[in-house]
Chain A
């Protein structure tokens, strides 16, 4: 086991054992806590950026260049923290959302999300290999968020590869069934696979691959809400595969 962080505590309680009332109540309280954290931190952040802009606006011309540059760094930090708070809000909404499971054609969902992401990753060289007829029973909106995060990652981390391929197909393990998303891009050291699901944990520098490090937290929260499990495997320079498995009955 890796040492749990506060963010992890949120996710432990979404594990499949979370059928018990007490655990459900704990999950609810923690997600409310996460919500109020992301919510109540907004006002001071807005003030930090607002007053910094006010100084630049009113006195920018009179400031020496180093002072302006320092204030610009404050603004950059504010924007990053703002994006992080929005991200925490997303995870918190996933944890609080009412589940409305229905039969979902995962292959179609992948096609739809691909189309949505094509503008974000315009000109991406990837070949796609998506198994048709993948199905699962899940909350469509939540599953879409998870698939979006997985495909976004696959595209991002294969963007520098020569002729990359992104594969989506059926996956089964321990009596659970689901799907995998695989790319042959930058990959990661498999020793750190567990850390990937911690909020804001990144295995690459921001200047290598941009991002906040929240996508896989969303994936784990979504799959966890359905009583499923998500796992990661990879090798540096060889690619990564993420498997989402749902309990029997939760996936066809």
Chain B
């Protein structure tokens, strides 16, 4: 059985707990790993620094990436992932509270697969995260699939 992993890049611990809760409930991913800033996300994906020997598949099935992040912000993480052949194809969903047109535009220009705004209301937020999980883990065919 394929291991489906989500990398959640989220610096707000409460949003992290709520997202984890929703993902647990839809029961799709075998594991959800969390990076709490942009640098951690890069280290995780490139298996560097504190993540040098991390277990699990090379790449997660999906990266859920916030934009406003400490150290390296989400848009820069996105650009660095797309510039590297190891990560250029990994599906990336931007999940952000930003409603700025230029953030959305720049995300798509930089190769994001999707841009999702965090709804203010928690009910909608939970539904959005659940749908996002179902779509990217169960519906979407990933670039590097089973042969």
Contacts and interface: CB of A to CB of B under 8 A. Distances in A.
Interface in B109-142: 118, 120-123, 125-126
A54 interface: yes
8 contacts: A43-B12, A46-B14, A46-B18, A46-B121, A46-B122, A46-B125, A50-B125, A54-B18
A112 to B, nearest CB: 25
A86 interface: yes
B21 interface: yes
Interface size class of B (residues with CB under 8 A): 10 to 19
B18 to A, nearest CB: 4
Contacts of A46: 14-15, 18, 118, 120-122, 125
B122 A43 contact: no
A43 B125 contact: no
Interface size class of A (residues with CB under 8 A): 10 to 19
- SS class, residues of chain B in contact with chain A: helix
Contacts of B125: 46, 50
B122 A50 contact: yes
* 8 closest residue pairs by CB, A with B: A47-B14, A50-B122, A49-B122, A50-B18, A42-B120, A46-B122, A82-B120, A43-B12
A26 to B, nearest CB: 21
A97 to B, nearest CB: 12
A50 B21 CA distance: 10
B97 interface: yes
Interface in B74-131: 97, 99, 118, 120-123, 125-126
Interface in A33-52: 39, 42-47, 49-51
Given A43-B14, A43-B15, A54-B21, A82 B97 contact: no
Contacts of A42: 97, 118, 120
A43 B97 contact: yes
Interface string B8-33: 00001011001001000000000000
A99 interface: no
